[in-house]
Amino acid sequence: QVQLVESGGGLVQAGGSLRLSCVVSRAIFSINGMGWYRQAPGKQREMVASIVGHDSTTYVDSVKGRFTISRGYAENTVYLQMNNLKPEDTAIYYCNAYHIDVSGYRDDVWGQGTQVTVSP
């Protein structure tokens, strides 16, 4: 059984910062990519940031220049540094990790989520 555990969420005023962390169980021996997604009530899940390899990163336009994703391979971790937070960033943030086997099958694993609330 594989588990992803997120931490670092909380309540912060607009303009503040939070750092999210995600730890993947060592049952995942080879991680091809990791990322952060978020979902607000009544809205679809949205990809916030992803990282493949060491430095191939992708961000949704709304967080560019404010959020930074980073990855630690040895500890199977991924981080999301969130600066200059806005009320629109309020959501449950989910960690994602995946691997691709030789046949091209992609297997995704999701964390339970951590709440981020930004007050105006």
pLDDT for res 93: 98
Nearest to 28 by CA among 99, 100, 78: 99
Task: Match 């191939």 to its residue by tokens.
Answer: 56
Q: Do the Cβ atoms of 38 and 92 come closer than 8 Å?
A: yes
In 3-state terms, what secondary structure has residue 45?
coil
- For position 120, what pLDDT does the model report? 96
Confidence band of 31 (pLDDT split at 50, 70, 90):
confident
Rounded Cα–Cα distance for residues 26 and 9 (Å)? 23
Q: What is the DSSP letter of 102?
A: T
Per DSSP, what are the bridge partners of residue 49? 36, 59
CB 18, CB 7: distance < 8 Å: no
Summarize pLDDT for 49-104 with one digit per residue, the tens: 999 877 899 999 999 999 999 987 666 889 999 999 999 999 999 999 988 888 99
